[in-house]
Amino acid sequence: MGNIRITKQFNFETGHALYGYDGKCRNVHGHSYKLSVTVIGTPITDTTHVKLGMVIDFGDLKKIVKEEIVDVFDHATVFNKHTPHVELAKELTDRGHSVILADYQPTSENMVLSFADKIKARLPENIKLHSLRLQETDTSFAEWYASDN
């Protein structure tokens, strides 16, 4: 039996600011992100297995992505922890807001790289992460492919 790719899509709202950037995105703002997660593997052929015919149960993939990304980033604000935004982050946190201080500039490119690492670490041994697509706006997205890495 051959490999099959399956994809699950997720939505979440996240704010961020790009410190040092020369455009509007240096200001705190938000996006309605769409994340597509594609994994690859061989469907289960064991006729006694409850998940016969599945590469991975969509519910199992959903659990991983929700715990690692959606539940963490949804309605949070992301700042690069190496910028002066840490002062704003502290004030927001003190006021009860959800803030993430990332080790990177919170661009779609860097976020998708971080998401790939988090998801790969949680997938079963026989399932590989094939690609991620993080859509920031209707016309802008970043993609990660295992074959490129």
82 is catalytic: no
User: What region, left, alpha or beta, does residue 7 occupy, with left being phi > 0 and alpha being psi -120 to 50 degrees?
Assistant: beta
Active-site pick, 25, 68, 109, 143 = 25
Over residues 13-33, the pLDDT tens digits come to 999 999 999 999 999 999 999
Over residues 40-91, the pLDDT tens digits come to 999 999 999 999 999 999 999 999 999 999 999 999 999 999 988 889 999 9
130 is catalytic: no
Contacts of 59 (CB under 8 A, 6+ apart): none
pLDDT, mean of residues 99-103: 97
Please work out, in degrees rounded to the nearest 5, the angle formed at the alpha carbon of residue 94 by the alpha carbons of 90 and 91: 40
87 is catalytic: no
Q: Give the fold, CATH level 3, of 4-145.
A: Tetrahydropterin Synthase; Chain A (3.30.479)
Tell whether 31 is in a known binding site.
yes
* 3-state SS record for the chain: CCCEEEEEEEEEEEEECCCCCCCHHHCCEEEEEEEEEEEEECCCCCCCCCCCCCCCCHHHHHHHHHHHHHHHHCCEEEEECCCCHHHHHHHHHHCCCCEEEECCCCCHHHHHHHHHHHHHHHCCCCCEEEEEEEEEECCEEEEEEHHHC
Active-site pick, 13, 49, 67, 75 = 75
> What's this model's pTM, rounded to 2 decimal places?
0.94
Give the other-Cβ count within 10 Å of 48's Cβ.
Answer: 5
Tell whether 130 is in a known binding site.
no
Q: What is the pLDDT of residue 55?
A: 97
Tell whether 16 is in a known binding site.
yes
Q: What is the pLDDT of residue 110?
A: 98
